[in-house]
Amino acid sequence: MSVREWTYAIVVVSFALYIGIAIWAKAKTTKDFYVAGGDVSPLANGMATAADWMSAASFLGMAGIIAFAGYDGSVYLMGWTGGYVLLALLLAPYLRKFGKFTVPDFIGDRYYSQSARIVAVFCAIFVSFTYVAGQMRGVGIVFSRFLEVPVTTGVLIGMAIVFFYAVLGGMKGITYTQVAQYCVLIFAYLVPAIFISLMVTGNPIPQLGFGGQDLASGEWLLDKLDGLHQQLGFAAYTEGSKGMLDMFCITAALMVGTAGLPHVIIRFYTVPKVRDARISVGWALLFISILYTTAPAVAVFARTNLIQEVEGRAYAEDVDAAETVPAWFKTWEGTDLIAWRDKNNDGRVQYRAGAPFLGKPAFVEGTGDNGERLVANEKTDNANELYVDRDIMVLANPEIAKLPAWVIGLVAAGALAAALSTAAGLLLVVSSAISHDLLKRALRPNITEKGELLAARVSAAVAVGIAGVLGIYPPDYVAAVVAFAFGLAASSFFPAIIMGIFSRRMNKQGAVTGMVCGIVFTASYIIYFKFIDSGPGSQDRWWWGISPEGIGAVGMLLNFAVALTISKLTPPPPQHVQDMVDSIRIPAASRKEG
């Protein structure tokens, strides 16, 4: 069977599985729809959370980002896992005890304020849509690359699948399909990683392999890579080049943002008990860490392979095979992800630090002297001739390692599983924010159970439609607004929820002012440095050298400081709210309101 046949077969089987699960797990009540009936086992919830969390970007992008950033890429590894410690220790058990359905539920009830609830609803919707656009795009790209259908058709197929299980099954359908999706995606990630680790270092465990010796030369692999990097003018792979304060702030913003993301928090309402909420965060992080500790190993293997197999090789075919670029180089050049511009006209690829030309490659008709595709971009005056898209690292790995065709099909199915599971989780947040928080809790408190369930389904369906449109016509700023999602979650939800639990004295005035200051500060900084002053040299004007990605950490501190000060100057919250805080701190059921 060819690669394409394998890919079709594996993708179709996995989709059939998801649809089968969706029919089996149809939601009958709003409780089923919002929190899967509240009786998901902690292990299943952990797996579902892991699939929910690991998006197309984690699956396809992360190893690539680390491969190109080296030590600097650690901010993502620590940031996107360390947040789960905060979630387990500071949020999940208490929110489970609180026992409603959504994040705005907590904010609105704890701060006895409809306006706080509505601010939270809009933050939740904004954060979720920011994220979901990237997922649908990811689905479209995987379809177009592996199955050779147009991106639009790919997005439409993805929408149909998500529509089916998210609209029918709600949280219940999503949870059990996510369990299946986790299994598919982790298997698809590990198989090529194990093969490559064996090939490069002789050790089947990638986490150990990248600390081992290179089979070919006997050198420590990391030393060899550091050497290659320095030879070509890059910073040493294991040392990096970001400032320490910026590393610190980005890691903090990502950790806190992770703990404050509504689609992650909402998952801990689905288990029966406080005890289950605690352990299911543990399972979630364990399942996530399998991928997150493999990714840096894949990054090192891929980076070393890339440099060794490409640098100094001739492009034209008539040169000795050991001296020419490998076949995958041309395959990926054909998909616009690799571009080569022979600046010194020697017919060989010269890979150095710096961008080969300005912007993403704009391919034009015709070929150059060696048969390479031509680009119209204005070239830079450094020596680098090679453009490599970071996403290629995971996608091209099976080919670079010469793995069998079914592995490539598996990677495609894994990437789709990662994108679909995250998209579904986010769409559920949007749908529950509209039908539950906005409609039931704010606008139409008398709505019937049946009416609310219908509203939830309709808003899920509309959200799927909007997500699809964002996937087909992606706004240019998608990459830039991801900083927004984490920055907003870090500077608004996280402090508000933490203070709601750990400070009995925190009142409406303090929390709302804190949230507003945190959001306004963080959003202005990000907008200013991402859109207004984003050109070269803007880095020098960053405050204390902190990048827009890391500013959420400062916004969070500002939120805490403002909220604590204002609450000292204003009256304490009413008695029933203080009683509620006492109640969520104790696992045993003793609360009066339900």
Partner 1 sequence: MPHKPQAHTDYWRANLRILARLLVLWFIVSFGFGILLVEPLNSIRIPGTGFKLGFWFAQQGSIYAFVLIIFYYVRRMNRLDREHGVQED
Q: Which of 69, 107, 274, 302 binds partner 1 (CB under 8 A)?
A: 274
To partner 1, the closest distance from the beta carbon of 81 in angstroms equals 5
Q: Does 208 bind partner 1 (CB under 8 A)?
A: yes
Residues 392, 59: Cα–Cα separation, whole Å: 12
**Does residue 505 touch partner 1 according to CB under 8 A?**
no
Structure tokens at 411: 């990677």
Give CA–CA dist 566/584, Å, rounded. Answer: 24
Q: Does residue 132 touch partner 1 according to CB under 8 A?
A: no
Of 5 and 239, nearer to partner 1 (C-beta) is 239
User: Between 369 and 579, whose beta carbon lies closer to partner 1?
Assistant: 579
Closer Cβ to partner 1, 278 or 313, answer by number: 278
Site for partner 1, residues 213 to 232, rule: CB under 8 A: 213, 220-223
> Interface with partner 1 by CB under 8 A: which range of 1-9, 28-36, 292-300, 437-445?
292-300
Q: Angle, to 10 degrees, between the axis of helix 405-432 and the axis of helix 114-146?
A: 160
In angstroms, give the least distance from the CB of 18 to partner 1.
28
Sequence-separated (6 or more) residues with CB below 8 Å from residue 259: 83, 84, 86, 87, 90, 91, 265, 494
By the 8 A CB rule, do 512 and 115 touch?
A: yes
Helix locations, 489-507, DSSP H: 494-502
Tokens of 519: 């959001």
Tell me if residue 96 falls in helix, strand or coil: helix
Q: For residues 471 and 137, is the Cβ–Cβ distance under 8 A?
A: yes
Query: Of the candidates 244, 322, 376, 569, which one interacts with partner 1 according to CB under 8 A?
Result: 244
Q: Should residue 8 be labelled a site residue for partner 1 when binding is judged by CB under 8 A?
A: no
Place of tokens 């080569």: 340
Q: Of these, 14, 55, 74, 258, which contacts partner 1 (CB under 8 A)?
A: 74
The total number of residues written for the chain in this structure = 594
* Whole-Å CA distances, 513 to 116, 126, 202, 510: 10, 20, 57, 5
Residues 83-122 that bind partner 1 (CB under 8 A): 84-86, 88-90, 93
β partners of residue 364? 374
Other beta carbons within 10 Å of 235: 17
Q: Which is nearer to partner 1, 274 or 424 (CB)?
A: 274
CB atoms under 10 Å from CB of 525, counted, come to: 23
User: Helix 151-162 to helix 3-24 angle, to the nearest 10 degrees?
Assistant: 30
Nearer to partner 1, 227 or 465 (CB): 227
Q: Residue count at the site for partner 1 (CB under 8 A)?
A: 53
Q: Which is nearer to partner 1, 237 or 484 (CB)?
A: 237
| CB nearer partner 1, residue 305 or residue 431 | 305
Q: Which region, judged by CB under 8 A, interacts with partner 1, from 208-216, 313-321, 473-481, 532-540?
A: 208-216
Binding segment for partner 1 (CB under 8 A), chosen from 106-114, 153-161, 203-211, 422-430, is: 203-211
Instruction: Rule CB under 8 A: say whether 359 interacts with partner 1.
Output: no
Backbone angles phi, psi at 501, to 5 degrees: -90, -45
C-alpha 6/C-alpha 71 separation (Å) is: 36
The verdict on 252 binding partner 1 (CB under 8 A) reads: yes
Part of the chain binding partner 1 (CB under 8 A), chosen from 184-192, 280-288, 345-353, 393-401: 280-288
**Whole-angstrom distance, CA of residue 427 vs CA of residue 443:** 21
User: What letter represents residue 198's amino acid?
Assistant: L
Nearer to partner 1, 14 or 201 (CB): 201
Give min distance, CB of 70 to partner 1, in A.
9
Stretch in the footprint of partner 1 (CB under 8 A) among 32-40, 73-81, 328-336, 415-423: 73-81
Q: What span, in angstroms and rounded, lies between the C-alpha atoms of 55 and 419?
A: 5
| Residues engaged in binding partner 1 (CB under 8 A) | 66, 71, 73-74, 77-78, 81-82, 84-86, 88-90, 93, 207-208, 210-213, 220-223, 238-239, 244, 247-248, 251-252, 255, 273-275, 278-279, 281-282, 285-286, 289, 292-293, 296, 582, 585-590
